[in-house]
Amino acid sequence: MKYLPLDHKIFIQNRKRFVSKMQKNSIAIFVSNDEFPLNGDALHGFKQNSDLFWLSGIEQEGTMVILFPDNPDPKFREVLVLVRPQELKEIWDGKRLRANEAIAISGMTTIVWEDLLDGMLQQWIHLADAIYLDSNENDRKNNLVRTSEYRFIDEMKSRYPLHQYLRAAKLLKELRGIKTKEEVVVIQKAIDITEVAFRRLLQFIKPGVFEYEIEAEIYHSFLSQRATGAAYHSILASGDNARTLHYTSNNNVCKDGELILMDFGAEYGGYNADLTRTVPVNGKFTKRQKEVYNACLHLHDYAKSILKPGISILKYTDKVGEEATKQFLKIGLLNKTDIKNEDKNNPAYRKYLYHGISHHLGIDVHDLGTRTEPIQAGMVFTVEPGIYIKEEGMGVRIENNVWVTKTGNQDLFKNIPIKAEEIEALMRRKK
């Protein structure tokens, strides 16, 4: 790993939180993600199962976490399963974790090699009444690939058909949605790395630069600061490209007089940042660009002001939509007739703001958490309103990440320039 070792207290706490929700005399088993084939004999870069990482901090393939708090043998109440290091594989693919290294990362003291697990697991299963198994229940999931966790579910149900099976994902959705202060420290590190990259870009962007050159600057900055890399495929969308929400071609030249919408963030220690800023390519907003930008910033600030415990994401989104309607009237995007004739199921403002305002953030960029239940203290959200104007070939989005507190929220991006005048001033100071 590129990043410095994390405090394993994070993972010890996370396991305690999960175990506290388990039924009596139950066992929970978590398996690694697959190593996915690419083309020929190549593999995609390995990415650990988020739930397993949340419990252990282990990023290595072939890992399992087994939690059995009522096991009669205390030594096996928490078990970390690892692939046994093999000389030939290490020659090709690099060193694998030794037991002492895995203990230091995870805080788990019982290590079992994968090739010895089968007989031991059978004994533990026979002692347990119920089995928690994991699955990907992220509401945004839209593929049907039968991954390792689903194949493991099939295998377990075939071998042990008379046990009660329970959904680990239901508990994890609740638990992972609320971050501990130790987790927020790691998120803040990812954000700080992202800030350095953004300030670098303000010195780099100018007419004639290609979007992919900006992307290269981002990666250079991230990796030089020990980030794992980008949290997601960076969006560098100049001019009308900014109206495409997940624009990732990043192959156009940035032109004088255009805006460029930049949506990117670093991953550090398994946790993610998610920043969006929209800046003028030539360093100076036009009057109209600044008008639209300031309307978007107003929505951003308004959204932050109401994002607090007790409101649901759905209600929060509706209230931001009402404020967007007022702003769009002010800047000439809507008129009173548009509002009078709008479809209540598809409000008029949706023509210019056609995505949600916030999502949970953490180990996954679109992290686990509820949309319908009231927001709780400890949750981390993006705040990212946008304004997209087809007639003007313009898109503006402004995004920060906030940690919800008992009385409101804490802006984790508070040090990153956001006002139009701040951005212009920094862009003027090019070397």
Report whether 398 contacts 297 (CB < 8 A): yes
- pLDDT band, very low/low/confident/very high, at 429 (cuts 50, 70, 90): confident
Report whether 292 contacts 389 (CB < 8 A): yes
What does the alpha-carbon distance between residue 54 and residue 135 come to, in Å, rounded to a whole number? 14
Domain chopping of the chain, boundaries: 9-176, 181-428
Report whether 27 contacts 125 (CB < 8 A): yes
What does the alpha-carbon distance between residue 165 and residue 156 come to, in Å, rounded to a whole number? 9
User: How distant, in Å, are the alpha carbons of 51, 231, 272 from that of 223?
Assistant: 25, 12, 14
> How does DSSP assign 235-272, residue by residue?
EEEEGGGGGSTT-----SBP-TT-EEEEEE-EEETTEE
Helices (H), 20-107: 50-56, 87-93, 99-106
Q: Which residues contact 263 (CB under 8 A, 6 or more apart)?
A: 234, 235, 237, 274, 275, 276, 397, 399
Q: What is the pLDDT of residues 301-317, one digit of tens each?
A: 999 999 999 999 999 99
Supply the pLDDT for residue 220.
98
Closest CA to 177 of 188, 185, 169: 169
What does the alpha-carbon distance between residue 108 and residue 171 come to, in Å, rounded to a whole number? 21
Report, as an integer, the average pLDDT of 202-208: 97
Q: What is the pLDDT of residues 363-382, one digit of tens each?
A: 999 999 988 899 999 999 99
Q: What is the pLDDT of residues 245-301, one digit of tens each?
A: 999 999 999 999 999 999 999 999 999 999 999 999 999 999 999 999 999 999 999
Report whether 48 contacts 32 (CB < 8 A): yes
Which contiguous run of DSSP H or E holds residue 277? strand 275-280
Supply the pLDDT for residue 272.
98
Supply the pLDDT for residue 17.
98
Supply the pLDDT for residue 319.
97
CATH node for 181-428: 3.90.230.10
User: What superfamily in CATH does domain 9-176 come from?
Assistant: Creatinase/prolidase N-terminal domain (3.40.350.10)
Supply the pLDDT for residue 210.
98
Closest CA to 321 of 292, 288, 290, 345: 345
Supply the pLDDT for residue 139.
78
Supply the pLDDT for residue 431.
52
Report, as an integer, the average pLDDT of 383-387: 98
- pLDDT band, very low/low/confident/very high, at 137 (cuts 50, 70, 90): confident
Res. 430: pLDDT tops 70: no
Q: What is the mean pLDDT of the chain?
A: 96
Supply the pLDDT for residue 25.
98
Supply the pLDDT for residue 389.
98
- Tell me the whole-structure pTM to 2 decimals: 0.95
